[in-house]
Structure 1
């Protein structure tokens, strides 16, 4: 891939799209014609998680959470706000650890919320505990 473009996985159909750098906001999927990159977190599950982590050439910041966790619920709107601030440099995603226990186990998630940043298919940073939007953005920017 050249420095002028990168691959982004479509959140709708999971097709891999070549997107020109700086044009992420306008890019549409070549297969399903939906927007390729929105400034909001994606809710991922098993197969979609693996594809987004392995095939996106942009960093993916994942919030491992539980819907019954008080701090997770408090951090949810903050994570949404961080998605707007980090767009289009980072794709934000969420994994419900109660529904996706295999993924949580594979990554050794022992507490929620836990943020994990992936680049090139590999985890490069992890941060347990709730944070506000500015803390999430500052933390993520250290590693991208």
Structure 2
């Protein structure tokens, strides 16, 4: 891991430079002074998505979901639990495919929930279907190890 990493604030979207060794120390945003890691997934719209995926130096996991989707709603607590276990090494985002249909089309989301893993601004892994927290954490750890 690099000496310092760029981390996008989940609150104000400012890009922060954080020493890699300081990630576990609950760093705060230099612009808004809020925590850079909340142990919860961050809901992002189309307007915020690209910055979070492209500018975070840590892997970014994205849950493409919709409010009408039963499996999506069932998986939401497990996804939140996974965020608590994976941060600060990984950022978790949620994209509502109904509100951000352009993102669903751009990434060819055909079924939901679909979990996509991005690193360095590009998609490196994808998994369709609901997962429990343990399976999700294991999938992310395996995919980031393989990339």
**Separation (CA, whole Å) in 2 of partners of 1:12 and 1:82:** 20
For 1:100, the equivalent position in structure 2 comes to 100
**Separation (CA, whole Å) in 2 of partners of 1:101 and 1:41:** 20
Q: How does 1:72-87 map to 2 (within 5 A)?
A: 72-87=72-87
Going by fraction, where is helix more abundant, 1 or 2? 2
Question: Matched residue pairs, number?
Answer: 143
Deviation at 1:13, TM superposition (A): 1.3
Q: How does 1:15-34 map to 2 (within 5 A)?
A: 15-24=14-23, 25-34=25-34
Partner SS state of residue 62, structure 2: strand
For 1:126, the equivalent position in structure 2 comes to 126
**Separation (CA, whole Å) in 2 of partners of 1:84 and 1:23:** 17
Deviation at 1:90, TM superposition (A): 0.5
Q: CA RMSD in A?
A: 1.1
Gaps (5+ residues) in structure 1? none
**Separation (CA, whole Å) in 1 of partners of 2:85 and 2:61:** 13
**Separation (CA, whole Å) in 2 of partners of 1:73 and 1:28:** 30
Deviation at 1:68, TM superposition (A): 0.6
Q: Deviations over 1:7-57 (max 9, x none)?
A: 000111111100111323421111111111221100000121110001000
Deviation at 1:100, TM superposition (A): 0.5
Deviation at 1:5, TM superposition (A): 1.5
For 1:65, the equivalent position in structure 2 comes to 65
For 1:7, the equivalent position in structure 2 comes to 6
For 1:56, the equivalent position in structure 2 comes to 56
Gaps (5+ residues) in structure 2? none
Normalised TM-score (structure 2) = 0.94
Partner SS state of residue 38, structure 1: coil
Deviation at 1:92, TM superposition (A): 0.4
